Amino acid sequence: MKKIIDTKKAPAAIGPYSQGTIVDGLIFVSGQLPINPNTGAFVAGGIKEQTNQSLENLKQILKSQGSGLDKVLKTTVFLSDMNNFSDMNEVYGSVFGDGNYPARSAIEVARLPKDALVEIEAIAVK
């Protein structure tokens, strides 16, 4: 049976989707934009700040379900410009800094919602 995730500690969905779903012990987290859940606005700064906020949103969704970044199996990072890869990777590496990195894909896309620089989705275990 599928369970819908809804936490106030991360931004609400901006369309007809949920923050995430859980089924059979797996957590599927929707792509997280760099939105501060308290203000509803993008964080100030560039790719590093946006990457950090997207990962913080992801972390809060997982935490609301008793999981965490250490339980992430796979992420997909969407970048509006692959020239930002190195700076994104620096922040990403510090957040997942234990060396137990999840599998990952990083993809440049033509455009992201609200013209974000980055969006990150994940699959984790509960």
Fold of 3-125: 60s Ribosomal Protein L30; Chain: A; (3.30.1330)
**Burial of 110 (C-beta count, 10 Å sphere; 0-12/13-18/19+):** exposed
User: 122 near 96, Cβ under 8 Å?
Assistant: no
pLDDT at residue number 100: 85
pLDDT at residue number 40: 94
Distances, alpha carbon 89 to alpha carbons 40, 83, 105, in Å = 25, 11, 12
80: tokens are: 């509006």
Tens digit of each residue's pLDDT, the chain (126 residues): 999 999 999 999 989 999 999 999 999 999 999 999 999 999 999 999 999 999 999 999 999 999 999 999 999 999 999 999 999 999 999 999 878 899 999 999 999 999 999 999 999 999
pLDDT at residue number 99: 85
Give the domain ranges of the chain: 3-125
* Strand residues in the chain grouped as ranges (E): 3-5, 20-23, 26-32, 72-79, 103-108, 118-125
Total residues found in the chain within this entry: 126
pLDDT at residue number 31: 98
**Model-level pTM greater than 0.75?**
yes
pLDDT at residue number 71: 97
Which residues, other chains included, contact 22 with Cβ-Cβ below 8 Å and sequence gap of 6+?
2, 3, 5, 28, 65, 126
